[in-house]
Amino acid sequence: MSTSITMTQAGSIYAGHFLFTLGRYVVFAGIAYLIFWRWRKERWQSRRVQQKFPEDKYLHTEVKYSLLTCLIFAAVGVGIFAASQAGYTRIYTNLADHGWTYFVLSILLLIVAHDAYFYWTHRFMHLPQVFKYVHRVHHLSHNPSPWAAFSFHPLEAVIEAGIVPLMVFIIPLHGLALGIFMLYMMGMNVLGHLGYELYPAGFLRTKFGRLHNTSTHHNMHHQYVKGNYGLYFNIWDRLMGTNHARYEARFEEVTEGKQPKKAVRKAA
């Protein structure tokens, strides 16, 4: 096994990681934006968490910072690849080494670990002395669009990317498992910033609904800038008492069409 990579190889690897990161961002965010913010906007208006649409300048800011995040995520990918080539990570290439059962479990473990990692790093970034330097950029979107999924300050982008370097040193992970996890992460991230609630009325009264997050949950975090810190699940917010007091009531208002209607304006 080679313990180093050349500059040419690093450049090719960087380009590949950047295109994969940019591609999943554009595909997931772009499809969500085109369907809900353009094509079916009027039809889904009653399901908007915040009835008013943001000004175009905020969408442009979201895209600008998201492109910068893609560049940073790609650099982290190169670092992981180099560490793997040097034998420092636990990334493996032969599925038979650990079997299909472990392969599936490793993806689930990544999701659960990332949810915990996100909650606590998110709480950290909301400390007043940290927020203004790191997390404020993401909260420029008080009424986020799908394009806000990667809209981070460079320092936050590094923190957000940290879960993958952390996990590849701790547990065996196949490259395909990492790829599937990243696609899941992208999809759930876009859902959280969608601005529309897709789950049915009464969802939060189900066992699954009490554990899983919704678009309303994260949208309220952007609107009020505190509370609702979780990512995929609603476990940590419930345990730590950080759900917004009106989260469940707001969810029911949105899903039952009880919000006051406001005029629909064109999104960029």
pLDDT at res. 5: 74
Cα separation, 153 vs 150, whole angstroms: 9
- Is residue 130 one of the residues assigned to a domain? yes
Per-residue pLDDT of the chain (268 residues; tens, 9 = 90+): 445 678 788 789 999 999 999 999 999 999 999 999 999 999 999 999 999 999 999 999 999 999 999 999 999 999 999 999 899 999 999 999 999 999 999 999 999 999 999 999 999 999 999 999 999 999 999 999 999 999 999 999 999 999 999 999 999 999 999 999 999 999 999 999 999 999 999 999 999 999 999 999 999 999 999 999 999 999 999 999 999 999 999 999 999 987 665 544 444 3
Strand partners, 48: 196
Residue 239 located in a structural domain: no
**Domain with 21 in it:** 7-187
230 lies in a domain? no
Q: Which of 254, 232, 4, 247 is nearest to 119 (CA)?
A: 232
Neighbouring CB atoms inside 10 A of 92's CB total 15
Q: Does any domain span residue 207?
A: no
Q: Does residue 216 lie in a domain region?
A: no
Q: Is residue 93 part of a domain?
A: yes
| Type and span of the H or E element at 174 | strand 173-174
Does residue 221 lie in a domain region? no
Task: Look at the chain and report how many structural domains it folds into.
Answer: 1
Please, is 27 exposed, middle or buried when counting C-beta atoms within 10 Å of its C-beta (0-12, 13-18, 19+)? middle
161 is a domain residue: yes
